[in-house]
């Protein structure tokens, strides 16, 4: 029996989504965590802080909000990153209570290295796929992005 109607295909698609996306994401996160810790000596939390800073988040408050953890927990992680030379703190000249956080060149280099290592690992996982399979993955990811993009509801 071939399934061909949306009423038949949607439940199967949802089941496949839950079978594949979380386990795939878990494997990628596990590799990033191991890479950050073993090769670069940072925690996954420190990595995420650096990643969020690269995206433009530049204060303790913003980081605490996006990470959904306390300002004191963020400050503790930041202390380590400052000590290691990955970020700097700069006091605002007009409002001394506000501290600007910035990635240093070493922090940017660290992020680049983690991302490069992860991309190489992901590429090694995909080398056995045919061009047709890779194109199918690309099309499927495009469909997922279009389906679940903000404003598509």
Instruction: Give the integer Cα–Cα distance in Å for 70 and 63.
Output: 9
What's the token pair of residue 124? 């090694």
Instruction: Give the integer Cα–Cα distance in Å for 40 and 113.
Output: 9
- For residue 8, the model assigns a pLDDT of 83
- For residue 81, the model assigns a pLDDT of 94
Per-residue pLDDT of the chain (153 residues; tens, 9 = 90+): 566 788 888 999 899 999 999 999 999 999 999 999 999 999 988 999 999 999 998 888 889 898 888 888 888 889 999 999 999 988 877 877 778 899 999 999 999 999 999 999 999 999 999 999 999 999 999 999 999 887 655
- For residue 142, the model assigns a pLDDT of 94
Instruction: Give the integer Cα–Cα distance in Å for 22 and 55.
Output: 24
Instruction: Give the integer Cα–Cα distance in Å for 140 and 10.
Output: 14
- For residue 61, the model assigns a pLDDT of 86
- For residue 130, the model assigns a pLDDT of 95
DSSP3 helix / strand / coil % (the chain, rounded to 5) = 70, 5, 25
- For residue 68, the model assigns a pLDDT of 87
Task: Reduce the DSSP state of residue 89 to 3 states and report it.
Answer: strand
Nearest-5° Cα angle at 109, 107 to 111: 70
* End-to-end C-alpha distance for the chain, whole angstroms: 32
Architecture of domain 39-146: Orthogonal Bundle (1.10)
Own/partner contacts of 118-123, CB < 8 Å, gap of 24 or more, are 118/28, 118/31, 118/32, 118/35, 121/31, 121/35, 122/28
Please report, for residues 4, 44, 49, the alpha-carbon distance to residue 122 in angstroms, rounded to integers and kept in the order given: 33, 18, 22
- For residue 93, the model assigns a pLDDT of 79
């Amino acid at each position: 029996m071939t399934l061909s109607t949306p009423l038949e295909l949607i439940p199967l698609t949802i089941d496949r989504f839950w079978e594949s996306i979380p386990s795939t994401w878990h494997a990628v996160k596990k590799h990033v965590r191991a890479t950050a810790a073993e090769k670069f000596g940072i925690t996954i939390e420190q990595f995420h802080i650096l990643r969020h800073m690269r995206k433009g988040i530049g204060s303790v408050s913003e980081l605490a909000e996006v990470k959904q953890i306390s300002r004191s927990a963020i400050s503790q992680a930041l202390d380590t990153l400052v000590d290691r030379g990955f970020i700097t703190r700069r006091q605002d000249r007009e409002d001394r209570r506000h501290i600007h956080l910035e990635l240093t060149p070493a922090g940017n280099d660290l992020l680049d290295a983690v991302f490069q290592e992860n991309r190489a690992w992901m590429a090694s996982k995909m080398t056995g796929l045919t061009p047709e399979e890779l194109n199918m993955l690309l099309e499927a990811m495009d469909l997922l992005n279009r389906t679940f993009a903000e404003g598509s509801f």
